[in-house]
Amino acid sequence: MSIVGTRVVRIEDQKLITQGGTYVDDLREEALTGAVHAMFVRSPIAHARISSIDTSAALVSPGVVAVYTLADVDLTPPAPTEAPVAQPWLADGVVRYVGEPVALVLAEERYQLPDAAELIDIDYDPLDAVASIDAALTDETVLFPEVGGNLLQTHGGPFDDNAFDACEVVVTQTIVNQRVAPAPLEVRGASCTWGEDGRLTVWLSTQNAQLARSAIAAGLGVGKEKVRVITPDVGGGFGAKIGADLEVVVLGWAAKRSGRSVRWTETRSENLTSMTHGRAQQNTVTIGGKRDGTVQAFRLDVIQDAGAYPRALFLPTLTELMATGVYRFPKIETRSRAVATNTTPIGAYRGAGRPEATAAIERAMDLFAAEIGKDPAEVRKVNFIGPDEFPYQSPTGANYDTGEYAKALDKALEAGGYAELRAEQARRREAGDPVVLGLGLAAYVEITGGDAGGESGRVDINPDGTVTAYTGSSPHGQGLDTTLTMLLSDQLGIPMDKITIRHGDTDEVPKAVGTFGSRSLQLGGSAVREAAGQVIDRARRLAADLLEASPDDLELNVEQGAWQVRGAPSSGVLTWSQLAAQVSEGELSADVWFGDGTPTFPFGAHLAVVEVDTETGKVVLKRIIAVDDAGPVVNPLAFQGQRHGGLGQGTAQALLEVMSYDPDGNPTTATLADYSFISATELPDFELVDMATPTTRNPLGVKGIGEAATIGSTPAVQNAVVDALAHLGVKHLDMPTTPIRVWQALEDARK
């Protein structure tokens, strides 16, 4: 029986549960013995001119090896990529967000760093801060006068004034998709050492060593071959550890300048202001249609707060791409604008552009349903793209592969007991219960592997018959080692314990893209599968020679891991180890690149059930029922784990999390005591419902599952909170649905 599709506990876990992972800060490599420790001194002010920096006192503080400012850094300034401006290596006369690196301190011991950092005297002349999208759009204060204004990118539009003329009902709402912090439990860290061969080795907590290597080499102005990046265990990334942040280039430079190996681990408070944030969109939806529930036109107007130094301007356009979600709308219009503000730069965060699209359309569907007085489930069903319409070319330019959207919603409604829940809701309302019930739906489709890149995979059968596979994917918690091992074991007929998966070292895997955008299994997994397929083809020919048979007559008995002549078992068998021992090294090896950049489109439906205490405003998530369809499942254990994690983060955004700034651009949630990172106590058990619709776009039939549940759960919970309060006159509530927000909305509705 095939192991694929069965629940397999992870091979990664033995070490993690007995001695813990080996994260960057845990490395005890010989090359790092005697390394200096590094700390960035960061701006405490959102927008200011630096009038002077005095490092003299810090330089004589105990243990200090060096203090560097931009004046010391003899590197070419970072090249602007997608935005017209790029963040300098260290602040260049002006700071533009709290957390921007201004100076770098190196000291012999970790404990000496904050002592020295306190002694660096930096004079800031404060400038007016742009702390919100609204402030940015006025252009009263401009971050980059050379660009002309705070508007950095416009895409799509203009809008047709008559777009909604034929509609019986039109609803418009501005929806804030608030800024959140990715907050992987392991903060950022790196260690750098230059070898005698003139090569830089960087151990980096990253989602993709190869992209990091390119960024570091480019920043340092050296060839890629001069940089080796090694990824140790990584304590979560969620999109915010893609590539290498500019701090890492500065550390590599500092290692060279100081002639010392350098170790760096940021603090959590640094992490919350200096690692990129996610979301941060303000979206205005307009939805119009008939009173029977048919939507005729939808408009999405996106404003992306890009932060101080834009670096992910693909986010708002990706939101536009996915604007219509699972629905067939006759008319659709989108536009996006991105503005600079004096806040932490925005980057990818679990979902990256798609949760914003889904939240916008799914709130819009509920607003429309409420306006025409119909059940939101019914209105959705009227507008779904039908199962016979795939592949479906969306009006915004996406080509959906496969989907059964109505079926997914029906499964969620049935598993949740939707009708009974509605009855319970009505009972409570009737009885005047101060604790009201709310039901929220979200039907979603998202895009995975949507980055137009492929992935590398290499499989070697070693002379002893064991397997070493190299993947360009870079798992950091997803359990991909186990998943790939299962696939290889199944395909080759070699036991899992004889298979080793390698990743994350650019010397071993020179060409790769890495892990983000839920791409790893469909691209990295398919690459390894194709490589193994090629190895099997080669093995067939080699075994045929040895067994003196025709390759066409040879078959791989995967139960025994042996080659045999079809229908003539007595003519001999060759196990993988026998075969490997008899061929030249490298003959049973294949190195492939998989993928033409065609994405896949996972989908699903979530039903959230909340209780709201109308006296205090407190929301309690009672249930969340999730149908997440990403095609066939290799390891249900890891698949469910990804969904659980997505539900945790997605519901956290709806209920609690927001990275806040005051009007002067000071972050007010810059520690984990202030930032409402969700805990076990605020979450219910999750209810997962299975559904598997394969894609035609890769040999495994799989789509990505890393972000799906995040995308569905956020609007489901938000819709549930609004639904709970609907009978009291509340039509919309922005996230997070904190107690004060709910109470305020109820107060406003009472007036």
705-724 mask for another protein (x: CB under 8 A)? --------------------
The sign of the torsion formed by the CA atoms of 663, 668, 669, 674 equals negative
Residue 720: CA atoms inside 13 Å, Cβ hemisphere, count? 35
545-584 mask for another protein (x: CB under 8 A)? ----------------------------------------
Pick the stretch among 89-97, 128-136, 410-418, 670-678 that binds another protein (CB under 8 A): 670-678
Classify residue 361 as exposed, middle or buried by CB count within 10 Å of its CB (0-12, 13-18, 19+).
Answer: buried
Closest approach of Cβ 21 to another protein, in Å? 4
Pick the stretch among 111-119, 280-288, 554-562, 567-575 that binds another protein (CB under 8 A): 111-119
CA 276 – CA 292 distance, rounded (Å): 44
Closest approach of Cβ 702 to another protein, in Å? 19
Closest approach of Cβ 29 to another protein, in Å? 13
The residue from 51, 76, 174, 267 that contacts another protein (CB under 8 A) is 267
Closest approach of Cβ 486 to another protein, in Å? 14
472-491 mask for another protein (x: CB under 8 A)? ----xxxx------------
Pick the stretch among 19-27, 51-59, 284-292, 577-585 that binds another protein (CB under 8 A): 19-27
Using CB under 8 A as the binding rule, whether residue 738 contacts another protein is answered as: yes
CA 528 – CA 492 distance, rounded (Å): 12
* Cα distances (angstroms) measured from residue 355 to each of 351, 361, 404: 6, 10, 20
Closest approach of Cβ 515 to another protein, in Å? 12
Show contacts with another protein in window 176-215 (CB under 8 A): 183-187
Are 302 and 295 spatial neighbours (Cβ–Cβ below 8 Å)?
A: no
| Tokens encoding 441 | 């739906």
Using CB under 8 A as the binding rule, whether residue 496 contacts another protein is answered as: no
Closest approach of Cβ 385 to another protein, in Å? 29
Closest approach of Cβ 20 to another protein, in Å? 3
Are 171 and 297 spatial neighbours (Cβ–Cβ below 8 Å)?
A: no
What does 563-599 look like in DSSP terms, one character per residue?
EEETT-GGG-EEEHHHHHHHS-TTTTEEEEEE--S--
Using CB under 8 A as the binding rule, whether residue 71 contacts another protein is answered as: no
* Cα distances (angstroms) measured from residue 680 to each of 414, 676, 687: 27, 12, 15
Using CB under 8 A as the binding rule, whether residue 745 contacts another protein is answered as: no
Using CB under 8 A as the binding rule, whether residue 649 contacts another protein is answered as: yes
Q: Based on CB atoms, which residue is closest to another protein, 649 or 719?
A: 649
Classify residue 594 as exposed, middle or buried by CB count within 10 Å of its CB (0-12, 13-18, 19+).
Answer: buried
Closest approach of Cβ 416 to another protein, in Å? 17
Pairing of the two strands 121-126 and 189-194: unpaired
Using CB under 8 A as the binding rule, whether residue 749 contacts another protein is answered as: no
Longest pairwise C-alpha distance within the chain: 90
| Intra-chain end-to-end CA distance of the chain, in Å | 66
The residue from 77, 114, 386, 387 that contacts another protein (CB under 8 A) is 114
Residues facing residue 201 across a β-bridge: 193, 228
Q: Which of 105, 133, 553 minimizes the C-alpha distance to 340?
A: 133
Print burial letters for 249-281: b (CB count within 10 Å at least 16), e (below 16).
bbbbbbbbbbebbbbbbbeebbbbbbbbbbbbb
- How many residues touch another protein (CB under 8 A)? 74
Closest approach of Cβ 565 to another protein, in Å? 42
Show contacts with another protein in window 74-93 (CB under 8 A): none
List of residues 6+ apart from 410 with CB closer than 8 A = none
Using CB under 8 A as the binding rule, whether residue 611 contacts another protein is answered as: no
Q: Which of 205, 240, 198 minimizes the C-alpha distance to 220?
A: 198
Q: Based on CB atoms, which residue is closest to another protein, 344 or 669?
A: 669
Closest approach of Cβ 161 to another protein, in Å? 38
The residue from 149, 236, 533, 572 that contacts another protein (CB under 8 A) is 236
Closest approach of Cβ 17 to another protein, in Å? 4
CA 59 – CA 268 distance, rounded (Å): 25
| Tokens encoding 30 | 């010989």
Show contacts with another protein in window 27-46 (CB under 8 A): 28
Q: Based on CB atoms, which residue is closest to another protein, 186 or 611?
A: 186
| Tokens encoding 205 | 């907590």
Show contacts with another protein in window 432-471 (CB under 8 A): none
Using CB under 8 A as the binding rule, whether residue 679 contacts another protein is answered as: yes
* Cα distances (angstroms) measured from residue 743 to each of 305, 363, 411, 653: 27, 20, 33, 18
Classify residue 618 as exposed, middle or buried by CB count within 10 Å of its CB (0-12, 13-18, 19+).
Answer: middle
Using CB under 8 A as the binding rule, whether residue 637 contacts another protein is answered as: yes
Classify residue 292 as exposed, middle or buried by CB count within 10 Å of its CB (0-12, 13-18, 19+).
Answer: exposed
The residue from 119, 137, 496, 672 that contacts another protein (CB under 8 A) is 672
* Cα distances (angstroms) measured from residue 629 to each of 216, 358, 403, 440, 600: 38, 16, 9, 19, 11
Pick the stretch among 107-115, 295-303, 316-324, 379-387 that binds another protein (CB under 8 A): 107-115
Closest approach of Cβ 304 to another protein, in Å? 23
Pick the stretch among 4-12, 408-416, 507-515, 524-532 that binds another protein (CB under 8 A): 4-12
CA 231 – CA 504 distance, rounded (Å): 5
Closest approach of Cβ 104 to another protein, in Å? 18
Using CB under 8 A as the binding rule, whether residue 2 contacts another protein is answered as: no
The residue from 1, 79, 431, 680 that contacts another protein (CB under 8 A) is 680
CA-CA-CA-CA dihedral for 519, 386, 444, 722, to nearest 10: 180
Q: Based on CB atoms, which residue is closest to another protein, 323 or 708?
A: 708
Are 137 and 339 spatial neighbours (Cβ–Cβ below 8 Å)?
A: yes
Q: Based on CB atoms, which residue is closest to another protein, 462 or 660?
A: 660
Strand stretches in 380-432, DSSP E: 392-393, 399-400
Q: Based on CB atoms, which residue is closest to another protein, 453 or 645?
A: 645
Pick the stretch among 91-99, 440-448, 541-549, 676-684 that binds another protein (CB under 8 A): 676-684
Using CB under 8 A as the binding rule, whether residue 333 contacts another protein is answered as: no
Closest approach of Cβ 503 to another protein, in Å? 15
Q: Based on CB atoms, which residue is closest to another protein, 93 or 739?
A: 739
The residue from 76, 138, 393, 616 that contacts another protein (CB under 8 A) is 616
| Cα angle for residues 297, 302, 308 (degrees, 5° grid) | 175
The residue from 5, 21, 510, 533 that contacts another protein (CB under 8 A) is 21
* Cα distances (angstroms) measured from residue 627 to each of 249, 413, 575, 631: 42, 10, 43, 12
Using CB under 8 A as the binding rule, whether residue 13 contacts another protein is answered as: yes
Closest approach of Cβ 596 to another protein, in Å? 30
Pick the stretch among 29-37, 245-253, 288-296, 655-663 that binds another protein (CB under 8 A): 655-663
Closest approach of Cβ 391 to another protein, in Å? 32
CA 620 – CA 613 distance, rounded (Å): 8
Q: Based on CB atoms, which residue is closest to another protein, 297 or 745?
A: 745
The residue from 234, 527, 654, 705 that contacts another protein (CB under 8 A) is 234
| Cα angle for residues 603, 477, 516 (degrees, 5° grid) | 50
CA 153 – CA 176 distance, rounded (Å): 19
